[in-house]
Amino acid sequence: MSTQKTLRVRIDPDRCVGYGRCATIAQGLYLIDAETGKAYFEEEALASAAPKDVFAGARACPTQAIQVEQFGRRVYPQILSPMPADIARALNEDTDGES
């Protein structure tokens, strides 16, 4: 199965600080640009990469600059819903300001 048809990878250049862990874990898939120090990937390498390598490189990024989507939905890093306590705190802050 072609990874390119099911997975889409994005690297946020503002979050990437060039640690290079992705390039170490998924060699040949993720690379570090010598001029900018930012991670990038080759489309051809992504097309032939095993999904486990795509995710391993993304998980290795300490700043979570690598996002992986499958069928148009982000699967990594996972978007978490706010916790009930956070929602209650936000509602209390809104009502406190109105008094």
Question: DSSP string spanning 5-27?
Answer: HHEEEEE-TTT-----HHHHHTB
CA nearest neighbour of 29 among 63, 79, 66, 76: 66
Residue 98 has pLDDT above 70, yes or no: no
For 31-51, how does the pLDDT look when each residue is reduced to its tens digit (9 = 90+)? Answer: 999 999 999 999 999 999 999
Task: Give me 81's structure tokens.
Answer: 């819903």
pLDDT tens per residue, range 41-86: 999 999 999 999 999 999 999 999 999 999 989 999 987 776 777 7
Q: Which residue has the higher pLDDT, 96 or 70?
A: 70
Determine contact, residues 16/65, Cβ cutoff 8 Å.
yes
Q: How many structural domains comprise the chain?
A: 1
Supply the CATH number for residue 76's domain. Answer: 3.30.70.20
What three-state secondary structure class fits 72? coil
pLDDT band at 1 (very low <50, low <70, confident <90, very high): very low
Contacts of 20 (CB under 8 A, 6+ apart): 32, 39
Provide the domain limits for residue 35: 3-98
Question: Cα-Cα-Cα-Cα dihedral of 65, 71, 72, 74, to 10°?
Answer: -40
